[in-house]
Structure 1
């Protein structure tokens, strides 16, 4: 009886150890420029070799990340030295140099553009995907993914993961997710600030309209 119980517990521990704990909900802060900058650097160093952001230009990214010399002037040196690793100019969209034919030959599929992945899948999906890799010798690259079984993509963050602890790695993944959330809708940073002005304007308009209504009805003798 004791031996059976011991075997059962060992199997139970083994099963639990191979389960992926998914993040169900969390919020990213696209107003955090430092997080956006770290996420952009991670994307350019680990993801941009295969994945494009064709709906985002380098100069637009620089503005969103706060890489500016002044209100109107982009810090081109900072942008080129840290985030542009191809012959692209700052007005070019973020494309990859890998020909689609080569990508299909190496991976069996052309890596998708990630411009809208946060809107299509959600931030939680991206986080769970990036943290869901595990070793699997049966796969071509030696890894598999809990969220997307038999995925063609290798675990590109594995070397980064090995350099740091779990908490620091988790923070890096969150920075990358934050950047992709920004990429999916770059205007949201401006829209956030614009919302305060719109609400303020509507508040002033309401007060003016209320005063005009009081004056107008008073003149025609209606209280």
Structure 2
């Protein structure tokens, strides 16, 4: 019979901690955001910009929700998110939520749906725009942030714009007017708020998960002491 050792339990704790770190790294991006070719033919790798994710910043999340409702729900849905959950978690009074942030429904318990039906959009863009509920989990926070900041004018494209991260993207530069009206830093901050809100949509309990995970690991570390002593007592007479 093989003894249960301190080393084996420690390895389990390291594995659990490593899985948490890997999950956080994947969510944050941490990789190149694409490749483009300059006029002289040189290929350049575009590094992802760091998205300002802070799910404890209610002001940022509220501004991001406003931007999402004003600029995104015309084409995109967020079918796994209810307006009521946004109001509750982001501390938005229900009456303000109903008045300013409900574009496609008058029922606060409804999910977020696109204003324009998917078949019509498929005719316009060549493909129906994706649901954005889990987009930051799929692509990574940094990728989405960099993508939204990487539009540029391109008269050869149907909507007059292109993107360094995703070349020939069907999506038009919907934040074009905002970018023209705001300064560079303010615009980047507004996009950061939007991505912060999208990160919350993808995993509303993300912050709590990290906090609880830290407490669980701390508990296991404390538990390691009596478990080790008990294990030592059990096996002291075994040769």
Moved more, 193-202 or 48-57: 193-202
Q: 1:65 aligns with which of 74, 78, 90?
A: 90
Query: What's the secondary structure of 2:159's corresponding residue?
Result: coil
Alignment match, 1:121: 139
Aligned length: 197
Which structure: larger Rg? 1
Q: 1:51 aligns with which of 51, 65, 76?
A: 76
Alignment match, 2:186: 168
Contact 1:20 1:146 in 2 (8 A): no
* Alpha-carbon offset, residue 22 of structure 1: 4.2
Cα distance between partner residues in 2 of 1:176 and 1:21 = 25
Cα distance between partner residues in 1 of 2:45 and 2:206 = 30
Alignment match, 1:187: 205
Q: 1:26 aligns with which of 43, 47, 50?
A: 50
Alignment match, 2:102: 84
Alignment match, 2:236: none
* Alpha-carbon offset, residue 64 of structure 1: 2.4
What is the TM-score when the length of structure 2 is the normalising length? 0.70
Alignment match, 1:102: 120
Give the CA RMSD over aligned residues: 3.1
* Alpha-carbon offset, residue 191 of structure 1: 2.6
CA pair 77-200 structure 1, distance change in 2 beyond 3 A: farther
* Alpha-carbon offset, residue 155 of structure 1: 0.4
Cα distance between partner residues in 1 of 2:46 and 2:100 = 32
CA pair 66-109 structure 1, distance change in 2 beyond 3 A: same
Alignment match, 1:8: none
* Alpha-carbon offset, residue 205 of structure 1: 6.2
Instruction: In structure 2, list runs of 5 or more residues that go unmatched.
Output: 1-37, 234-239
Q: Higher strand fraction: Structure 1 or Structure 2?
A: 2
Contact 2:79 2:111 in 1 (8 A): yes
CA pair 20-136 structure 1, distance change in 2 beyond 3 A: farther
* Alpha-carbon offset, residue 26 of structure 1: 2.2
* Alpha-carbon offset, residue 66 of structure 1: 2.1
Alignment match, 2:175: 157
Query: What's the secondary structure of 1:56's corresponding residue?
Result: strand
